Structure 1
């Protein structure tokens, strides 16, 4: 490791890791710098979840055969290095006798002009936490020397430490955001919410104190508007700081629907053991759908099905209200729909919408976890 070129590579990658704030761009940039400064030609990085599901998160100079059909052979199936990682048996940089993914791709296409058949692999980890694999290869090379594997291990250690740092930073940001939401919810409850409540009481009292029918109707109208604004404000406070989540999704969504004067029928199938981020996304999308039902569908009932299927959770939300033409976005609650679509996209999920006038609306969301 006294090779000055190795020191330069580690220094350049360290500088990149210190500058980057997003994991995907950090991994892609680190991979590119590593390949530029070494004799390795090709590289790819897998993120591997606790469930064993792997995701191709970065790659550079992949052979054309492996780029086929949006990297089909890289994203699907198993291989030696991923299986060893799942079993906890891959501890350091290792030479791979032959890459199963490349072999299968070659079998299908019978072409490999780049000449890559073997690769080296190293786990990305920080302490006892493991995140995935860094794989590198060179045309015509069937194995790599010890000093090359040592450099690969050093880079993997740098990347693993950076991933851990970014995850901790993200958690700190989420805690700070939650604290700010709680503060805003308290402020709205203590100020605007109380003022609106006082306004409804004042308007009701004014209506009871006068015999003038026109004035009485004005007070009733004011009371109705204040009550509607109070309901909206309570919904906003709930969205900032949801109550009932400690009792699970059913209790939280039921409570939100009841607050808006709707009856929610909720059915859950399968064992829901969802990561906090996925559970919050399901809840937030459910909130948006319930709010849209109240504001636009003119329906009193809403039906929600949540089902855990393998490594995915599906939520279907249905009402039998007014409905609309989905293509007429200027006539639908586009802000709410956009929010649901964006929340789904951020978790690499699938979002679908069905609706027609007088036939109600159905929203379906599928999220991986």
Structure 2
């Protein structure tokens, strides 16, 4: 075995050990490409994740020159390039030299900083089996083309990273499934124990009110019955939040069912075809739950309007009521109406949420989530 081949085998073993141990996606990607750079002729690397709609995201980068790092790598994050086009067209079967890179050219021509001799790069798809996740790009100063051996090394590393990405995604899915199962167990336990006890207390209080002839005792029992009924309603809402019945029939049916459970009537309008990932549906449902809870508790109305618009890249959900409204202070944390939790949920999915409200003129909430 030649010295170069021996060093490549050692490098691949070192990368494989890191990939097998790491469970965080970001640390795994950056750790792998740094090891690749330290053990090869490559001197800069970056990874794009590319979704099914063609949107690319800079997922990791290592040792970029100032021209590419400027303004949080804006030249890598914006615009198109030949490697991404070949990826979309299905013409990137092997590691390839890219003769012209629009991103690098734009960075150099805009005087974004020193490119440190980097003018070209090589690229390879990150995949596991037939499932593709994005691109691994590498570059070196004053290098237009990499040799076949160097491209073969790049392919081997890309195969390792692709397998690791698939493993982490599957692990994440298993964790989410376990979380759903735990929620379902808690919901069943609450329904079978606490929920039934509250119902029994309600019946007992009703019976005590009827059986007693003392007006004060009757009033006390009625108060107990009222408070227990309120607690029962809160418990049913909590069970809904733990295990949203109806999501199996679609997001809108689940939201409508939850609204009806709260005593709210809904007006629905939809544009576009609703085929959303389950994670996006649950995020929207959780935000809608909080919004509907707020309407029931604070708006003073029993009717809500829901508008949903679905495009190939994102979904917009609008929740509107004509109730009391409130004054919005963006710098104020308002746990009583759950603004922060709704904002956090949307942000966690790369989305946004906005409020429009005036005293006496109702509230409108706009939630936009990419998928």
The two structures have a TM-score, normalised by structure 1, of: 0.94
Matches within 5 A, 1:185-334: 185-327=187-329, 332-334=334-336
Cα distance in structure 2, aligned partners of 1:318 and 1:12: 55
Give the deviation of 1:135 after TM superposition. Answer: 0.1
Give the deviation of 1:107 after TM superposition. Answer: 3.0
Cα distance in structure 1, aligned partners of 2:112 and 2:180: 54
Give the deviation of 1:316 after TM superposition. Answer: 1.6
Correspondence for 1:20? 22
Give the deviation of 1:334 after TM superposition. Answer: 4.9
Cα distance in structure 1, aligned partners of 2:166 and 2:336: 37
Counterparts in 2 of 1:132 and 1:223: CA distance versus 1, 3 Å: same
Cα distance in structure 2, aligned partners of 1:319 and 1:35: 56
Cα distance in structure 1, aligned partners of 2:338 and 2:216: 38
- State which drifts further: 57-66 or 82-91: 57-66
Correspondence for 1:150? 152
The answer to whether the Cα contact below 8 Å between 2:205 and 2:222 also exists between their aligned partners in 1 is: yes
Give the deviation of 1:315 after TM superposition. Answer: 1.2
Cα distance in structure 2, aligned partners of 1:269 and 1:113: 47
Could you say what secondary structure the match of 1:348 adopts?
coil
Correspondence for 1:97? 99
The one-character-per-residue Cα deviations of 1:169-195 (angstroms, maximum 9, x if unpaired) are 111111111111111111111111111
Cα distance in structure 2, aligned partners of 1:282 and 1:16: 36
The one-character-per-residue Cα deviations of 1:56-85 (angstroms, maximum 9, x if unpaired) are 111122232323443332222221111111
The answer to whether the Cα contact below 8 Å between 1:292 and 1:333 also exists between their aligned partners in 2 is: no
Counterparts in 2 of 1:64 and 1:256: CA distance versus 1, 3 Å: same
The answer to whether the Cα contact below 8 Å between 2:126 and 2:136 also exists between their aligned partners in 1 is: yes
Counterparts in 2 of 1:188 and 1:365: CA distance versus 1, 3 Å: same
Cα distance in structure 2, aligned partners of 1:10 and 1:201: 70
The answer to whether the Cα contact below 8 Å between 2:333 and 2:340 also exists between their aligned partners in 1 is: no
Give the deviation of 1:32 after TM superposition. Answer: 1.7
- State which drifts further: 92-101 or 319-328: 319-328
The one-character-per-residue Cα deviations of 1:108-165 (angstroms, maximum 9, x if unpaired) are 3386441211101011111111111000001110011122111111111110010111
Give the counterpart of 1:76 among 72, 75, 78.
Answer: 78
Cα distance in structure 2, aligned partners of 1:110 and 1:333: 44
Give the counterpart of 1:132 among 134, 144, 150.
Answer: 134
Counterparts in 2 of 1:237 and 1:104: CA distance versus 1, 3 Å: same
Cα distance in structure 2, aligned partners of 1:129 and 1:331: 43
Give the counterpart of 2:53 among 51, 63, 67.
Answer: 51
The two structures have a TM-score, normalised by structure 2, of: 0.94
Cα distance in structure 2, aligned partners of 1:245 and 1:275: 12
The answer to whether the Cα contact below 8 Å between 2:70 and 2:112 also exists between their aligned partners in 1 is: no
Report the aligned-residue RMSD: 2.0
Cα distance in structure 2, aligned partners of 1:113 and 1:345: 34
The answer to whether the Cα contact below 8 Å between 2:251 and 2:285 also exists between their aligned partners in 1 is: yes
Cα distance in structure 2, aligned partners of 1:320 and 1:121: 54
Give the deviation of 1:45 after TM superposition. Answer: 0.4
Correspondence for 1:184? 186
Correspondence for 1:33? 35
